[in-house]
Amino acid sequence: MDFEPWWLIFVPVFFGLGWIAARVDFKQMLSESRQLPDSYFKGLNFLLNEEPDRAIDAFIEVAKLDTETTELHFALGSLFRRRGEMERAIRVHQSLLARTDLPQVDRENAQFEIAQDFLKAGMLDRAEAAFEAVSTGRHAIAAVRALIYIYESGHDWPKAIEAVRRLRTLVDEPVPQLVHYQCEQAEAALKRREPNLIQAEQALNEAEKAAKELGQKEGSRASTARIFMLRAQLAYLQNDYALQLFYLQEVLRVAPQYAGLIAAELMQCYSQQEQAPQGLALLQKHYEQYPSIDVFAQIFKALRQQQGATAAWTFARQALQQHPSLLGLDRSLQFELQHPDNPDAQHVLGGDLHLLRTLVHKHTQRLDKYACQHCGFEAKHFYWQCPGCTQWESYAPKRLEELQA
């Protein structure tokens, strides 16, 4: 395309139009800036000078003069909460809620924001009330989820169960921890000075129902094993040892890795029915496929009681050669020292058993713990919910030594 000289006429025209547009925008910007209250600029100045308390006062004054500054307060409150300055975040959101002219939508948002402030600050009672206030509005799903967390943190299992039911009416999603909520109720009923067997059975029925609703994909062997363990405890309190044995055997079937948690109870149950040899045979067979320290210890103890020191230590040598374990040796020495009158003991092992056990035990104390697979929190006892990170089923049913092997 050839250049035409008359096109040059448009150059000054375009320049003039651009200059006029710039002047109009600049005048509009100056006009809008003059309309902003002085408190707004004071607040920005205080914020830049790291004087947040004076900045909050200034922005609250802006809110009184200009009702269209709510977004500024929401942003400021969120900033303070992210930085962990909870008192300032609460103060900002309380200033919004104190306004009588605040639109209903903004009021709900402010109520939800201050509920999150209370929750992060650890003020669970106030957080519960604040989330309840918005549990039927546009923030209903998030509010009910927060309430579930609050009730779970406080071990208020009835309220947690009710909150889960409320959540299910709002959104169709599985809540796997519901099984454990019911199990917690059952366990509490069984541990009372006077166990409430009816309440425990009702809770376990609800736990089984919740597990069934989760289905194969969402359900877990851990929760199923816990239900069977509690069923076994219930049967024991009802003096129904045959039923107790059935549920303990079911644990071995559905969750063989949890055998260590019930090995002692299983042997006791067989012994009560005068079937200790059968219990020993079952544990030995299970150990061949699923070796664990606790199962090893119960086998050694049973052999020591039923067949003597030679048979027990013959098993221990073979097992420890295949699966070396200081904890296993420690458990064996502990049980051996419970039978110091056996003349075979010194012949089998020789030396000072007390000294040997003391030396071994000193090195096994740090290994004789369970560990959360999520946060690493270590504990002497097994937990279904980690005390550190509150995750469910995050503890492997194995000691630290086994996990590090």
Annotated binding site for Fe cation: 372, 375, 386, 389
Element spanning 231, H or E: helix 221-237
Q: Which phi and psi angles does 219 have, rounded to 5°?
A: -70, 160
Task: Using alpha carbons, select from 127, 177, 131, 175 the residue that is nearest to residue 155.
Answer: 177
d(CA 132, CA 119) in angstroms, rounded, equals 13
CA atoms within 13 A on the CB side of 398: 14
d(CA 384, CA 31) in angstroms, rounded, equals 64
DSSP state of 385: B
The one-letter amino acid at 9: I
The one-letter amino acid at 258: Y
Cβ(254)–Cβ(221) under 8 Å?
A: yes
The C-alpha angle with vertex 208 and arms to 204 and 213, in degrees rounded to 5, equals 145
Q: Which residues are annotated as a binding site?
A: 372, 375, 386, 389
Task: Using alpha carbons, select from 374, 369, 377, 376 the residue that is nearest to residue 397.
Answer: 369
What is the C-alpha radius of gyration for the chain, rounded to an integer number of angstroms? 34
- Angle between helix 197-218 and 177-190 (nearest 10): 160
Cβ(208)–Cβ(250) under 8 Å?
A: no
Cβ(207)–Cβ(216) under 8 Å?
A: no
